[in-house]
Amino acid sequence: MNANLCVDSHLRELVELGFHVHVAADATGAPGQEAYDAAITNFGFVADRTMSTAKVLEEL
């Protein structure tokens, strides 16, 4: 998933709907490192948690 477009848009919508959202940051991508870093920074402000896919699977 494109971190700075698709994931960000869905993340914001889900939070607005009242969901507690966790993002598997290493399961996303972006068109360049700067865009990816910016998306990860934004996730930290909006999501409940940002973590690795391994951590998500561990917690399931």
pLDDT, tens digit, 9 for 90 and up, residues 3-29: 888 899 999 999 999 999 999 999 999
Q: Which residues contact 8 (CB under 8 A, 6 or more apart)?
A: 39, 42, 43, 46
In the chain, the number of structural domains is 1
Q: State the pLDDT at residue 1.
A: 63
**Could you tell me where the beta strands, DSSP code E, fall in the chain?**
22-24, 49-51
Q: Which amino acid is at 28?
A: T
Q: Report whether 16 contacts 50 (CB < 8 A).
A: no
Residue 32 structural domain: 3-59
The DSSP H or E segment spanning 55 is helix 53-59
